[in-house]
Amino acid sequence: MYNVSMAKLYERSFVAQLEQRLSVGRPLIQVLVGPRQVGKTTGVKQLLARYPDATHYANADDILTTDRTWLMEQWQKASLSGKKTLLVIDEIQKVPNWSETVKSLWDKAPKVLRVILLGSSSLQLQKGLSESLSGRFELIKTHQWAYEELKRAFKYDLDRYLTYGGYPGAVVFESDFDRWYAYLKESIIEAVVGRDILLNHKVGNPALFRQAFEILCRYPAQEISYTKLLGQLQDKGNTDLVKYYIELYSGAFLVHPLEKYSTKSHLMRGSSPKILISCPALYTMHEGPQVLNDPEKRGRIFEAAVGGQLLQLPGNLYYWREKQDEVDFVYSYQGQIYAVEVKSGRRKLSRGFNVFMKKYPKACPVIITPDNFAAFSENPRKFLDTVANQQ
């Protein structure tokens, strides 16, 4: 059964990462971005509870109106508490012109305060960062909860993760699919689509945009052409429209397109994308709670779960295909290439794996199965390094 305190007690890895960055030298502004309802505020409050110096937490969502004066007031309150005071501004995107104000305040007295900025709208945050705060911040990306996290916090097994995994707040509703579905749709997806995207980005046809999300979620870990995606939308358009939709959903941490791996960059840019949804729950929303009964669907969502964790690592993630030969994922980091094959029990050809290794003999072959997925999920970077060192 779900226990609210379990989610609050569990500490996600970004908390230790923040703590380490704030404890040395003169840190830059730390900006926490990620999807809604994954514990960003909870994690920051865990850090505040044990921070060794003074702290000041302010949430722009707690008052009816905010402006730059409110933000300046919070900055001043923190400054009066002394150097190394940790200032946290939550829901920062709700303050008009917040990035210009933060830039001005930071430049007047750089690195006197320790500063964390976060909010529920990752798209608005990232837009403000790119416009005004260049060179003044470090970004920490959080994602939906991985298998290992849900296993530790809520005793998930693999089947439960592949059906419901992603959002801890939805755990309480798993016994009632209609309520579970309504929570995800209204509290998370509609909040992202309706508030974060449609109110802040130009989208000519909101109904078509919502339809595109449903279509994308039905193709986890599948390569699909922009033309085919466009053909399923109930309206006229062009491939640029589909690319724009996917770009917005990717910025909101919902859907991610992978390019085809090639040593020739123009072939990568012109490839059909392989669609990764950010967590299994988004697939179950559209396919229903019995989704794992279909071996093909089970295999796809397991492959997407592997790809979702690889996507969180530093470096670049691709897929590879030449005619009928394919490799599920190609991960590149610091000059090392990993060819990742996902084995889930469904029937699939493995010839492509061998073809790829002959073409790129320096690549490190990695096979991920349900048996070793827990070890992979616990520390993907360590898992890959261990495999590489054994070869």
Order across the sheet with 255-260: list the strands: 222-223, 274-277, 255-260, 316-322, 325-333, 336-342, 364-368
**Mean pLDDT lowest among 27-31, 64-68, 183-187:** 64-68
pLDDT band at 362 (very low <50, low <70, confident <90, very high): very high
**pLDDT band at 27; cut points 50, 70, 90:** very high
pLDDT score, position 7: 58
Res 361 pLDDT > 60: yes
CATH number among 3.30.70.360, 3.40.50.720, 3.40.50.300, 1.25.40.10, domain 4-141:
3.40.50.300
Least-confidence region, from 144-148, 270-274, 359-363: 270-274
Cα atoms in the Cβ-side hemisphere of radius 13 Å centred on 72: 10
Query: Residue 317 forms beta bridges with which residues?
Result: 331
CB 140 within 8 A of CB 30: yes
17 or 346, greater pLDDT: 17
The answer to whether 101 and 72 are in contact (CB under 8 A) is: yes
Q: What is the pLDDT of residue 131?
A: 77
224 dihedral zone (left: phi>0; alpha: psi -120 to 50; beta): beta
Tokens of 149: 């996290």
Q: What are the domain boundaries of the chain? A: 4-141, 147-389
| Mean pLDDT within 247-272 | 84
When pLDDT is cut at 50, 70 and 90, the band that residue 2 belongs to is very low
Residue 215's pLDDT is 93
Of 209, 218, 280, nearest to 249 (Cα)?
209
Burial of 152 (0-12, 13-18, 19+ CB in 10 A): middle
Q: Quote the mean pLDDT of the chain.
A: 90
- pLDDT tens-digit series, residues 192-218: 998 889 888 888 888 889 999 999 999
Single-letter residue type at 256: H
The tokens describing 160, both together, are: 């439960």
For residue 193, what are its two tokens? 């689509």
* The pLDDT of residue 270 is above 70: no
Please name which of 180, 181, 174 lies closest in space to residue 160, comparing C-alpha atoms: 174
Q: What is the pLDDT of residues 280-309, one digit of tens each?
A: 999 999 999 999 999 999 999 999 999 999
What does the block give as tokens for 176?
A: 């009632």
pLDDT at residue 274 greater than cutoff 90? yes
CA within 13 Å, CB half, 17: 14
The pLDDT-based confidence of 8 (bands split at 50, 70, 90) is low
Q: What is the predicted pLDDT for the residue at 324? A: 87
Q: Which residue has the higher pLDDT, 353 or 310?
A: 310
> Is 1 a residue whose pLDDT tops 60?
no
Partners of residue 330 on adjacent β-strands:
318, 339
117-176 pLDDT, tens digit each = 999 888 888 888 887 888 899 999 999 999 999 999 999 999 999 999 999 999 999 999
Of 62-66, 237-241, 263-267, 365-369, the least confident? 263-267
Q: Say what the pLDDT of residue 388 is.
A: 84
Lowest mean pLDDT among 33-47, 303-317, 338-352, 372-386: 338-352
d(CA 254, CA 263): 28
